Structure 1
Amino acid sequence: MRWVFDADLFLWHGDAVSWTFLRLPLDVAEEIDDRQAGPRAGFGSVRVAATIGATTWHTSVFPDKPTGSFLLPIKKQVRAAEGIAEGDTVTVALEIAEA
């Protein structure tokens, strides 16, 4: 299954590092959760293939317990290649990666 949606990039600050993420819409998160009902990788992550613009990469989405959604990390290389930054709204295509 493939989902296409718009989402805003935001920074999350941790111990001496900052990460750029976007939050999946709840309907997409619920469908991913339904399709991945069995055991998951570390932190409850789900392997995905993500595309923004002309850039596709493999990564994982991670549960965001406060919202019930998932967070998708956006690598620096992707942000640079697509000319995007914190606060931008981007169109994302997302698929669960084959095992």
Structure 2
Amino acid sequence: MSETLSFAAPLTRWRGDRGTYHLVTIAGEAADQLAMHARLHRLEFGRSRGFGSVKVTARIGETHWKSSVFPQRKQSEWILLVSRRVMRAEDLAAGDTVRLELELL
């Protein structure tokens, strides 16, 4: 049985050494649920996934894709990268608030 999280969050632009990325920062109750899911996975399988990530199926509008969310600040926040393909399909720009649905895998 999979768990689904739904929430709204701003789309942020981050410029790094290798390019510009668009991402959503997941905080609050949704971040707590992701941290619990990661802990349960570690207990069940005896190890955590790469970088402590959690696999998800993400959905913004009509666009969905498989990805991973990555913990930040000791799992009090999580990051989901949003590709250019998704940004174009949903006509998004940095600063937009997106309605996001995550199915935890």
Which structure 1 residue ranges, 5 or more long, are not aligned? none
CA RMSD of aligned residues (A): 1.5
> Match of 1:34?
36
Q: Which has the larger radius of gyration?
A: 2
1:19-42 deviation per Cα after TM superposition (whole angstroms, max 9, x unaligned): 100111321111111122113222
Matches within 5 A, 1:58-73: 58-65=66-73, 68-73=76-81
Whose helix proportion is higher, 1 or 2?
Answer: 2
> How many angstroms does 1:73 deviate by?
0.5
Normalised by the length of structure 1, the TM-score is 0.90
- Distance in 1 separating the partners of 2:12 and 2:77: 15
> How many angstroms does 1:68 deviate by?
1.8
- Distance in 2 separating the partners of 1:29 and 1:86: 21
Which structure 2 residue ranges, 5 or more long, are not aligned? none
Percent identity among equivalent residues? Answer: 34
- Distance in 1 separating the partners of 2:75 and 2:69: 14
Residues 5 and 25 in structure 1, CA contact (< 8 A), matched pair in contact too: no
Taking a change above 3 Å as real, the CA distance of residues 66 and 17 of structure 1, as seen in their structure-2 partners, is farther
Residues 63 and 86 in structure 2, CA contact (< 8 A), matched pair in contact too: yes
Matches within 5 A, 1:8-47: 8-37=10-39, 38=42, 39-47=47-55
